[in-house]
């Protein structure tokens, strides 16, 4: 499986490395990073909310990409979709594109390690959606829905047995599986 990482804003090498590492280790992905940022068009920015419209960013990414694989965008911005106050990320499996927005992942951060852990979990979560997984009821599973950063902190950067089995049934390699219990 090939994944292209696109920076919507310039991120630190440690951020891109953490995301690349979790995708390589957990899913055996071949990750390619575009080194220069590709900012989304400013028309997708809602000045009243001070947030990007994530659904429009994903549409733009889908039109932009000619990559033979999945596309994961990362940006140090805040985003939302209509009906929600914000999203940590969003995926469009039909287009093979997803995005993770880091602004809210930095909330209450006491260490860079905690932030990188949150970022890695959300990147793995969105790629999980691209691979056909929905939200999981197991709050420890990376595929559980997170309403706030506390829920991101609680879950693991691993798939529960049920989600892992679903990925494996599609012929995918899954190396990050929660232990029983």
Which CATH number do you get for residue 96?
Answer: 3.40.390.10
Catalytic residue, chosen from 15, 117, 122, 126, is: 126
Separation between Cα atoms, residue 126 and residue 152, nearest integer Å? 13
Task: Give 161's DSSP letter.
Answer: H
Mean local confidence (pLDDT), 24-38: 95
Q: How confident is the model at residue 65 (pLDDT cuts 50, 70, 90)?
A: low
Which stretch of DSSP H or E encloses residue 58?
Answer: helix 54-64
Q: Show the domain range for 65.
A: 2-134
Instruction: Tell me the pTM.
Output: 0.95
Q: pLDDT value at position 64?
A: 74
pLDDT, residue 68, reads: 82
CA distance 6 to 31: 11
For the question of residue 126 being annotated catalytic, the response is: yes
Question: Structurally, how many domains does the chain consist of?
Answer: 1
Residue 167 maps to a domain: no
CA–CA distance from 118 to each of 43, 56, 82 (Å)?
A: 28, 24, 24
Cα separation of 102 and 165, whole Å?
A: 29
User: Does residue 46 carry a pLDDT above 80?
Assistant: yes
Q: What average pLDDT score do residues 49-77 get?
A: 92
Q: Looking at the domain assignment, is residue 75 inside a domain?
A: yes
Q: What is the pLDDT of residue 181?
A: 64
- Per DSSP, the residues of 9-61 read S---HHHHHHHHHHHHHHH--EEEEESS--PPPGGGEETTTTEEEHHHHHHHH
| Averaged pLDDT, 149-170 | 96
More confident residue, 140 or 68: 140
């Amino acid at each position: 499986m090939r994944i292209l990482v696109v920076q919507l804003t310039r991120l630190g090498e440690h951020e891109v490395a953490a995301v690349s590492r979790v995708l390589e280790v957990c899913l055996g992905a071949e990750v390619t990073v575009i080194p220069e940022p590709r900012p989304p068009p400013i028309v997708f920015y809602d000045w009243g909310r001070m947030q990007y419209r994530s659904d429009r960013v994903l549409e733009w990414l889908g039109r932009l990409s000619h990559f033979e694989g999945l596309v994961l965008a990362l940006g140090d911005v805040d985003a939302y979709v209509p009906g929600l106050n914000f999203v940590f990320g969003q995926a469009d499996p039909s287009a093979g594109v997803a995005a993770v927005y880091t602004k809210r992942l930095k909330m209450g951060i006491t260490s860079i390690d905690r932030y990188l852990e949150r970022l890695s979990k959300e990147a793995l979560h969105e790629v999980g959606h691209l691979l056909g997984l929905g939200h999981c009821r197991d709050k420890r599973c990376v595929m559980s829905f997170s309403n706030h950063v506390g829920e991101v902190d609680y879950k693991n950067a691993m798939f529960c047995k049920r989600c892992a089995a679903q990925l494996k049934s599609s012929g995918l390699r899954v190396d990050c599986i929660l232990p029983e219990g």
